[in-house]
Amino acid sequence: MSLSRRDFLKYGAGAGGAAVAGGGIDLRPVEAAATSLRIKEAKAVPGVCPYCAVGCAQLIYVKDGKIVDIEGDPDAPHTEGALCPKGSSTYQLSLNERRITKCLYRAPGSDAWEEKPLDWMMAEIAKRVRKTRDETFVESAKVGDKNVPVNRCEGIAWLGSSVLDNEENYLIAKLSRGLGLVNLENSARLCHSATVPALGASFGRGAMTTNLIDVQHADVIMPTSNWAECHPVSYKWVMKAKERGATIIHVDPRFTRTSATADYHVPIRSGTNIVFFGGLIRYAIESKKYFHDYVVAYTNAPLLVDPNFKGPADLDGLFSGFEPGKRAYDQSTWKFQLDADGYPKKDPTLKDPHCVFQLLRRHYARYTPEMVERVCGISKALFLKVADIYCSASGPDKTATASYALQLNQSTNGVQQIRALCMLQLILGNVGRPGGGVVALRGHSNVQGATDFGTLYHMLPGYPAEPLQGPHPTLTEYLERTTPKGGYWVNNPKFVVSLLKAWWGPAATKENDFAYDYLPKREKADAYSHQHFLVGMLQKKVKGFIVMGQNPAVDSPNAKMSRQALRSLEWLVVVDLFETDTAAVWKEPGVDPKASKVEVFFIPGAPAAEKDGSITNTMRLAQWHVKAVEPPGEARSDAAFVVDLGNRVKALYGGTKAKKDRPIVDLVWDYQPQGPKKEPTMELVLKECNGYATDDITDKDGKLLYKKGEPVKTFAALRDDGLTACGNWIYSGIYPEEGKNLALRREKAKGGDYLAHGWGFAWPANRRILYNRASANAAGKPWSEKKKLIWWDAEQKKWVGNDVPDFSPTMAPDAPRAKDGPLKGISGTDAFIMNPHGLGQLFASVLDGVFPEHYEPFESPTKNLLSKVNNNPIAKVYDIGELNKLGTPDKYPYVLTTYRLTEHHAAGMSRHVPWLSELYFGHFAEIGPEMAKELGIQNGDMVTVETPRASIKVRALVTERIKPFVINGKKVYQVGIPWHWGYQGVMKSARGDITNDLVASLGDPTTFIQESKALLCNVRKGVA
């Protein structure tokens, strides 16, 4: 017997015996009964929630080849069987009348879809790919007096997705680079791209430092986003910490579900986080609450900086080296003073005026509590209260966890906003320790994995840089310029050569620099991001576009312009479950379909429950999901689409002898498609990502280490001589033996192993808390019994404890700096092994400065009170004329911030799911009562919200949750608008105007992430 949801509710009401709890009817016993009936005799298949990056593990119940139920897996250590509304409705991603199960084709200028056979569609798409590639291919470029092979195709863009699996992203990265594509992105660009350089520059890796389960050990937790709403299941660890006595300080412009659980809500004006964090850093230093011994041992605070370096405190908002004409910095003074060995000089007393600590102190001296009050709108009294609480969570016995999401990312200062938070955690000694760390909360299931696997324009899988034609014309020059002299990245050549072997196999030889020339070379660093290629479409430079699992018609900044760009394409391929707003862009309401000549191919895809693959959640935990049922009709996995397309394009180029075609012809592309739908064998892809021996490998005594084809056990086995192939070095160890997939492990947490090392696989090397060497003091002893994690066992001569050491397992605390080898430059106290000096970097060269400095958002109600430099002087402003006009406070007086909701997902997957769509009445804007009164707006009225780019019509939600700020003595109202809506959706409440139409085309200088959390807008009553 199976029960529909309606039957289930009926059953509940008829049972009549449900207990009343909390003023409502407790349906739990009924639910349990209904569920047990439904799943009786069903097979349970491991699944992973495909919505957000908490990565809730699921059990998919299958009976007679059909999914009958999807539940949270009670054994999962990080989620303990819980699912939020989105996860609970995963069932409707598979069983949904709106699923497209046939291939659809829209001819240029047509006003209707036509059904076409899959084979015809794939053949036509392959032909378009070849034609556009051939038309727009740049084979070589003049660099100085040299002709450099660049093998670059600029006419096609490919948008992968952070809801696709790791293996799918890998295949996209491999095929697109094989085709020469430089316009390659995934949704991480728009949500968390600032995370990678910020965390990378601070700690060495662009990933969350800790583990969600460990949050329970924090003494203070500071969420700077709406954690409870956007990543609900993981919030249980915050609540657990609170039960254990932790204090919660919620820093957010709006009062939200997170604020409701917090001890303190700190309302902050959007876009001013650097002032708040800078104020905390100043407070920690001046009140001597920083963790002195940690700072001296594990950060670069003692290192001496070039005396010619000057900062914003000296240069009124700028760092030394600013070149106004170029809108860039010459970084030649941003360096350390070196000793005779070429290592930075240091002053362990932290007193030298040129040491990082003193420069940091001087830099943030201006970030006083009074300045925090004037800029952020946080009262001085509240600031001092929370500063004291947060900074007291430091030292041997205490730790604090800080979290963030898009409020920090989506800014023209995105990287530096996150950097400031990282630096605060470093000076308080809160990284690498239980209850400490920086929690990066991601809204798509596989943001971490899609980033790791390199579907981003600037990097390759595992984080080596995607080469540039100028500085990287040859492999030797590329490796020379991208490999640091110390730290674990000295192994970069092994990772790069192994990647080249994985991609081009026998064609990659020592003699041809392992086919390095085959890799596309970017013309410049400032190009090819999501925003860049949409502008390229508008200008008809980008002609073809493949979109998988993303919805750029809604999620792009300046989305109205972006839809115009999509309609300017020659051809568009959309692979998705539903007819997304992007797929329907040619028939957007108000648009004449005949006016758009874009040719559209829609290929039906499959959700996680219908395919094999791994998803890496926000804490770097890769979990494998198993195909529970066949996708319906012609639908198939995204991997099947990519592999099929690759085979067809390779076949089209089969007879060619042209040099420019060798990268695609020679691309190793054998994934043994199976069955009528040609589904690739995903474990083969996983094995390639893990790495394997390309030939027998022996040690110096001739002892066989690996047989040809055998998976490597760890990245330590990778080589730069071509004897190993590896698609993504950081995932080495996930498939250590033939048939052994560690992402598929589902062992409950047992004994003292609260970090549950038997559940899935966390890169790197199954470490659960990064930089955990810092959980012990310089001598290798735990800082305190309460906060111990790993420590040095002098008898065993190795690091032991509750996690895999993020350090050489046998390097003693008193070991001198290694002169060479895989840990060159690292000594026994260097806890941040990925950084060149093994230290947490308070001083780090990011494009827009070594310390985060506050600049106002480009649309702001005030001038910058910290300096004469109003906005980030090197931020990207896209030059598209009237389409990107910026607003001023005289015409647009309100601060607008965007956000999301538990019940909806990103750009609209949830809008096709009835169970979710019925949970909200429709699109709305939150407005405070005072502002509403001034404008004569009642709760529920329709209002128009406008920026110079667009206007949208939404319902007013008048609520006390939104308060005005007093900024520099002047009252400023704010408006909050969620951004999930679009013109496609299952019911009226699921359809609405597109919030991102309001957002400008601006970018952080390092990552080009947009500024969508701090805009100016006007609000009018009515929609006329």
Q: State in angstroms the smallest separation of the CB of 82 from ligand SF4.
A: 7
Residue among 126 and 164 whose Cβ is closer to ligand SF4: 164
Residue 228 contacts residue 256 (beta carbons within 8 Å): yes
Q: State in angstroms the smallest separation of the CB of 549 from ligand SF4.
A: 15
- Phi first, then psi: give them for residue 447, nearest 5 degrees: -60, -45
Q: State in angstroms the smallest separation of the CB of 902 from ligand SF4.
A: 8
CB atoms within 10 A of CB 678: 18
Q: By CB under 6 A, what part of segment 418-447 binds ligand SF4?
A: none
Considering only 12, 87, 414, 544, the residue that binds ligand SF4 (CB under 6 A) is 87
Residue among 441 and 954 whose Cβ is closer to ligand SF4: 441
| C-alpha of 257 from chain center | 23
Residue among 76 and 846 whose Cβ is closer to ligand SF4: 76
| C-alpha of 709 from chain center | 33
Of 585, 853, 822, 619, nearest to 715 by C-alpha is 822
Q: State in angstroms the smallest separation of the CB of 87 from ligand SF4.
A: 2
- Phi first, then psi: give them for residue 545, nearest 5 degrees: -145, 130
Residue 446 contacts residue 169 (beta carbons within 8 Å): yes
Count of residues making up the chain: 1024
- Decide if residue 962 touches ligand SF4 (CB under 6 A): no
* Site string (200-239) toward ligand SF4, x via CB under 6 A: -------------------------------xxx------
Residue 259 contacts residue 265 (beta carbons within 8 Å): yes
Query: CA-based Rg of the chain, rounded to a whole angstrom?
Result: 27
Q: State in angstroms the smallest separation of the CB of 910 from ligand SF4.
A: 10
Residue among 54 and 350 whose Cβ is closer to ligand SF4: 54
Q: State in angstroms the smallest separation of the CB of 57 from ligand SF4.
A: 9
Q: State in angstroms the smallest separation of the CB of 832 from ligand SF4.
A: 30
Strand partners for 576: 604
What's the number of CA atoms in the CB half-sphere (13 Å) around residue 645? 27
Residue among 587 and 746 whose Cβ is closer to ligand SF4: 746
Q: State in angstroms the smallest separation of the CB of 70 from ligand SF4.
A: 10
CA distances from 464 to 512, 733, 786 (A): 20, 19, 38
Q: State in angstroms the smallest separation of the CB of 812 from ligand SF4.
A: 41
The 3-class SS string of 23-80 reads CEECCHHHHHHHHHHHHCCCEEEEEECCCCCCCCEEEEEEECCEEEEEEECCCCCCCC
d(CA 378, CA 274): 13
- Decide if residue 84 touches ligand SF4 (CB under 6 A): yes
Residue nearest ligand SF4 by beta-carbon distance? 87
Could you tell me the sign of the dihedral formed by the alpha carbons of 81, 84, 85, 87, in that order?
A: negative
Residue among 230 and 565 whose Cβ is closer to ligand SF4: 230
Residue among 232 and 436 whose Cβ is closer to ligand SF4: 232
d(CA 619, CA 207): 8
| C-alpha of 955 from chain center | 31
d(CA 427, CA 839): 12
Residue among 80 and 941 whose Cβ is closer to ligand SF4: 80
Could you tell me the sign of the dihedral formed by the alpha carbons of 864, 868, 874, 880, in that order?
A: positive
Q: State in angstroms the smallest separation of the CB of 521 from ligand SF4.
A: 38
Considering only 27, 83, 686, 823, the residue that binds ligand SF4 (CB under 6 A) is 83
Identify the three-state secondary structure at position 946.
strand
- Decide if residue 760 touches ligand SF4 (CB under 6 A): no
Which two three-digit tokens encode residue 605? 């895809």
Q: State in angstroms the smallest separation of the CB of 890 from ligand SF4.
A: 41
- Decide if residue 652 touches ligand SF4 (CB under 6 A): no
Residue among 44 and 313 whose Cβ is closer to ligand SF4: 44
Residue among 824 and 904 whose Cβ is closer to ligand SF4: 904
* Site string (678-707) toward ligand SF4, x via CB under 6 A: ------------------------------
Total residues in contact with ligand SF4, by rule CB under 6 A: 13
- Decide if residue 86 touches ligand SF4 (CB under 6 A): yes
Strand partners for 737: 740
Q: Answer whether the bond into residue 764 is a cis peptide, omega within 30°.
A: yes
Residue among 608 and 850 whose Cβ is closer to ligand SF4: 608
Q: State in angstroms the smallest separation of the CB of 900 from ligand SF4.
A: 11
* Site string (44-63) toward ligand SF4, x via CB under 6 A: -----x-xx-xxx-------
Residues near ligand SF4, by CB under 6 A:
49, 51-52, 54-56, 83-84, 86-87, 231-233
